[in-house]
Amino acid sequence: MAEIDSFAGLSPDELDAHWMPFTGNRQFKANPRLFVRAEGMHYTTADGRQVLDGFSGLWCCNAGHGRKEIADAVARQLVELDYSPAFQFGHPLSFKLAKRLADMAPDDLNRIFFCNSGSEAADTALKIARAYWRAKGRPEKIRLIGRAQGYHGVNFGGISIGGMPGNRKHFGPALDVDHLPHTLLPENRFSRGLPAHGGEAMAARLLDIIELHGAENIAAVMIEPFAGSAGVILPPKGYLQRLRELCNQYEILLIFDEVITGFGRTGAAFAAEAFGVVPDIMTTAKGISNGAVPMGAVFAREEIYNTFMQGPEHIPELAHGYTYSAHPVACAAAMATLDIYEHEKLFARVQSLAPHLEEALHSLRDCPHVIDIRNCGLAGAIQLQPRAGEASKRAMEVVLESYRRGLLLRWTGDTIAVAPPFIIDTAQIETIAKTLRAVLQKVD
């Protein structure tokens, strides 16, 4: 790959020192891809190129970059209250934020546990689910169920409940978790929005796991409303509804991981609202603070919270939490972010732009190697035929060539994912399609 960027004034020792996450470190350090600025829809690279952000950073900068409202709120907060102890003490802003989030959430998902990432949110949700049944006097209900191709971050709970082999196999025994099959079906290829086929049947596969273990031993099912990291794998119509019914019938908590789908990606505040199915626990991160300050939040039904409120009142009801839970600066960033979503009506904007992204992506159906196209809200995926013996390399080359042409996208396996900030305009959506068409015709 020809050199794309200079080393941006970094010495080789400095490049060596940083062990980068989920990155081919040797490939990157041979040709670093460095951003030095970001504003609106664009990144600026170390050698001064403008790159259109087609992926909201990593699914998180929903309101675009360089939002001064967030920067000002963070600066003010740092001066006023930089840090408050999170255990046994607190600060008013976290309570105001929790109430605001509760008011945004569907149904009675009105108790908010703060953390600092989607991974922490996932493990928090799993621990709440297990501890809940213990508090209910049913300690045998501990089994957790995930889904193939699911991504719930990288802590041991998340990789256990997750279903991406590459994220698990290097780390030894995980938690003993069962997995539902993923919902990518050949008969649904090139669907626009939620696919038509197989929803109820795929959800009914939960019955096999219930039969195997007994519902009395099962604590929770955790899934993404649509699987983002796996390449925007959508729930066929009826799938989530049937899953909800079965969880009700067998007294199994349903957990939605909305780290990607939450805060507008589907055109509603949460996928739970967009798809009309409410979970018992919901995890969020990313868009909650527009990616500006790390933050996660776990939403739990009031009944779940109340179940913990028993025993001596001086004892913490849930032995869990983080030094930076409800961090004042993260709370300030989140409040400013929610203001932007509200004032600029960005969730409604997603609804109005979704058809444009749908048309743009599905217009690529005739491009070389394209074997599926999927879309929902302002998220989409173009799945490519893998190059023989070189899984994921074709998609990688498409993304790197797109980057060279001034467009940031993401590859996962042999799928190219598209998830632009909500401030994108229709001309920029067209640019994404034009760039992808040209690159797909060039990359073998």
Ligand X SMILES: Cc1ncc(COP(=O)(O)O)c(CNc2cccc(C(=O)O)c2)c1O
Stretch that binds ligand X, among 81-89, 177-185, 234-242, 257-265 (CB under 6 A): 257-265
Least distance to ligand X from the beta carbon of 227, Å? Answer: 8
Least distance to ligand X from the beta carbon of 35, Å? Answer: 15
Least distance to ligand X from the beta carbon of 230, Å? Answer: 8
User: What does the per-residue mask of binding to ligand X show for 153-172, with x meaning CB under 6 A?
Assistant: x-------------------
Footprint (CB under 6 A) of ligand X, residues 270-299? 285
Q: Which string of DSSP letters, residue by residue, matches 343-411?
A: HTTHHHHHHHHHHHHHHHHHTTTTSTTEEEEEEETTEEEEEEPPBTTBTTHHHHHHHHHHHHTTEE-EE
Please state, in angstroms and as integers, the Cα–Cα distance from residue 25 to each residue in 20, 207, 394, following that order.
Answer: 6, 43, 19
Check binding of 151 to ligand X (CB under 6 A). yes
Paired tokens of 164: 């991406």
Residue with tokens 């000002």: 72
Footprint (CB under 6 A) of ligand X, residues 422-441? none
Stretch that binds ligand X, among 149-157, 317-325, 355-363, 379-387 (CB under 6 A): 149-157
- The distance in angstroms from the start CA to the end CA of the chain is 15
Paired tokens of 297: 């939040």
Q: Give a three-class secondary structure readout of 225-249.
A: CCECCCCCECCCCCHHHHHHHHHHH
Q: Which residues sit opposite 224 in a β-bridge?
A: none
Least distance to ligand X from the beta carbon of 123, Å? Answer: 10
Check binding of 122 to ligand X (CB under 6 A). yes
d(CA 396, CA 283): 29
Return the residue of 67, 91, 111, 152 that touches ligand X, per CB under 6 A.
Answer: 152
Check binding of 119 to ligand X (CB under 6 A). yes
Check binding of 58 to ligand X (CB under 6 A). yes
Order of strands across the sheet that contains 50-53: 35-39, 42-45, 50-53, 407-408
Residue number with CB closer to ligand X (54 or 228)? 228
Stretch that binds ligand X, among 224-232, 350-358, 374-382, 430-438 (CB under 6 A): 224-232
d(CA 92, CA 106): 24
Check binding of 265 to ligand X (CB under 6 A). no
Angle, helix 92-104 to helix 328-343, in steps of 10 degrees: 40
Check binding of 235 to ligand X (CB under 6 A). no
Stretch that binds ligand X, among 24-32, 117-125, 188-196, 306-314 (CB under 6 A): 117-125
Residue number with CB closer to ligand X (153 or 328)? 153
Least distance to ligand X from the beta carbon of 294, Å? Answer: 7
Least distance to ligand X from the beta carbon of 44, Å? Answer: 21
Check binding of 410 to ligand X (CB under 6 A). yes
* Closest CB to ligand X: residue number: 118
Check binding of 228 to ligand X (CB under 6 A). yes
Please state, in angstroms and as integers, the Cα–Cα distance from residue 288 to each residue in 45, 127, 284, 330, 377, following that order.
Answer: 26, 22, 7, 9, 17
Check binding of 220 to ligand X (CB under 6 A). no
- Residue 269: partners with Cβ closer than 8 Å, 6 or more residues away: 104, 105, 262, 263, 347
What are the residue ranges of helices labelled H in 279-365?
Answer: 302-308, 328-343, 346-362
Return the residue of 259, 293, 353, 398 that touches ligand X, per CB under 6 A.
Answer: 259
Please state, in angstroms and as integers, the Cα–Cα distance from residue 326 to each residue in 87, 320, 334, following that order.
Answer: 10, 13, 10
Query: Residue numbers of the site for ligand X (CB under 6 A)?
Result: 58-59, 117-119, 122, 151-153, 224, 228-229, 257, 259-260, 285, 410, 412
